[in-house]
Amino acid sequence: MLPFASCLPGSLLLWALLLLLLGAASPQDSEEPDSYTECTDGYEWDPDSQHCRDVNECLTIPEACKGEMKCINHYGGYLCLPRSAAVINDLHGEGPPPPVPPAEHPNPCLPGYEPDEQERCVDVDECAQALHDCRPSQDCHNLPGSYQCTCPDGYRKIGPECVDIDECRYRYCQHRCVNLPGSFRCQCEPGFQLGPNNRSCVDVNECDMGAPCEQRCFNSYGTFLCRCHQGYELHRDGFSCNDIDECSYSSYLCQYRCVNEPGRFSCHCPQGYQLLATRLCQDIDECESGAHQCSEAQTCVNFHGGYRCVDTNRCVEPYVQVSDNRCLCPASNPLCREQPSSIVHRYMSITSERSVPADVFQIQATSVYPGAYNAFQIRAGNSQGDFYIRINNVSAMLVLARPVTGPREYVLDLEMVTMNSLMSYRASSVLRLTVFVGAYTF
Ligand SMILES: *[C@@H]1O[C@H](CO)[C@@H](O)[C@H](O)[C@H]1NC(C)=O
Ligand SMILES: *[C@@H]1O[C@H](CO)[C@@H](O)[C@H](O)[C@H]1NC(C)=O
């Protein structure tokens, strides 16, 4: 067993930095005679001291280190280091080499290493043992044989200190950027929210997120709009909807009465009328529709807003009925001598407040005898002069002279007299016209 077996501490192998030429320890338990002794690479046998002696390769190997590297002799090898590298141990000092320590003694460990119980050189954790000189702003990282001071994420080294990186200077955010110690946060304008990448801003659909629109909500880029259904208007607050009182806008919306309803309006008509085309009122013809209560012996007469049941037989003595509307005074009856020979019943209906003069009824003579002429007059029922007759040869027109307001009823006796003086002929007949004036202008 050769003593130099322990001259080759594994901890000398600084692979990363150094070009270290070390011979592999080959088995030395040979049966060689004492006179011949072989040392491992880097050592030579010194017969004087009977020890293996280190070879100073820096002196013996030409150009042991290339270029700018300097050669540093080492036990069993040599190191090539940058010229600026500080050498802590004077490994290549002059003088006799230090004796190779026996195995029982602790091995010298390189800086950053210390021997453990088994005398193996193990790494010192400078960070854990507060043996480092990292600034409080720096993180300490232990490394084999040394340590490193680094800046945390989001910091960078300026001089000896780590300072926060202002990420906001790099326009990472679409809208707004808030720098934070070691990081940053993007923010979005109102109506937007951060996208999945936490940097871009995407429109918020406020309508899906409970926007406070009372009726209709329209999302738009960055905001939303409330709208109202037809018949409502948006309140000043922009959210709620107020019913529009359509009836207050115009008195022409409905012919009779406008009734405002939520979101709409409706037209109503007075009794006896029905709604026609949403706003107009049309008289219901109860006689036609069968809604009347007239008996068999009666005739139904419709007028604006109602109807009247009149006795079908309206003839009064000495008149006798000859048809539904016609009563005749028989010439044979002496009582009829001074009476109109016939009375014809007619009914008509007009609306209130017609513009006047208004032609309302025309009387037509049925026959004109040669030499005869007709005369027309209102014989009864026109006490206030609301009507007059415009005579036109063989016919006459009943004219409303003044605007009248219903409900009102006139019974006018219009007389037509046909005369022929040559033949001493005179015939009179009466048209008994009932004029109903409705309560309304329609
Ligand atoms: C965005 O931020 C959230 C919350 O801070 C985080 O959980 C998520 O991982 C981030 N997404 C990205 C893409 O950075
Ligand atoms: C009456 O009728 C006759 C014959 O048609 C006509 O000549 C005459 O002008 C008419 N009189 C009036 C007042 O219209």
pLDDT tens by residue, the chain, 442 residues: 433 333 333 333 333 233 333 333 333 433 434 455 677 777 777 777 777 777 787 877 777 777 767 777 776 677 776 666 655 544 444 444 444 544 455 557 888 899 889 888 999 999 998 888 888 889 999 999 899 999 999 999 888 889 999 989 987 899 999 999 999 999 999 999 999 999 999 999 999 998 899 999 999 999 999 999 999 999 999 999 999 999 999 888 999 999 999 999 999 999 999 999 889 999 999 999 999 999 999 999 999 999 999 999 999 999 999 998 899 999 999 999 889 999 999 999 999 999 999 999 998 876 656 777 788 899 999 989 999 999 876 789 999 999 999 899 999 999 988 887 777 778 899 999 999 999 999 9
Distance 196 CA to ligand 1 centre (A): 7
Q: Which ligand is nearest to the CA of 396?
A: 2
**Closest ligand to 172 CA?**
1
Nearest CA to ligand 1 atom 7: 198
Residue 432 alpha carbon to ligand 2 centre in Å: 26
pTM: 0.55
Instruction: Tell me the CA–centroid distance for residue 205 and ligand 1, in Å.
Output: 21
Residue from 167, 174, 198, 201 to probe ligand 1 pocket by mutation (most atoms less than 8 Å from CB):
198
Q: From atom 9 of ligand 2, which residue's Cα is the shortest distance away?
A: 393
User: Does ligand 2 lie within 6 Å of residue 50's CB atom?
Assistant: no
Query: Which residue's CA is the closest to the ligand 2 atom numbered 3?
Result: 393
Q: Which residues line ligand 1 (CB under 6 A)?
A: 196-198
3-state secondary structure the chain: CCHHHHHCCHHHCCCCCCCCCCCCCCCCCCCCCCCCCCCCCCEEEECCCCEEEECCHHHHCCCCCCCCEEEEEECCEEEEEECCCCCCCCCCCCCCCCCCCCCCCCCCCCCCEEECCCCCEEECCCCCCCCCCCCCCCEEEEECCEEEEECCCCEEEECCEEEECCHHHHCCCCCEEEEECCEEEEECCCCEEECCCCCCEEECCHHHHCCCCCCEEEEECCEEEEECCCCEEECCCCCCEEECCHHHHCCCCCCCEEEEECCEEEEECCCCEEEECCCEEEECCHHHHCCCCCCCCEEEEEECCEEEEEECCCCCCCCEECCCCEEECCCCCHHHCCCCCEEEEEEEEECCCCCCCEEEEEEECCCCCCCCEEEEEEEECCCCCCEEEEEECCEEEEEECCCCCCCEEEEEEEEEEEEECCCCEEEEEEEEEEEEECCCCC
Q: How far is the CA of 198 from the centre of ligand 1 (A)?
A: 6
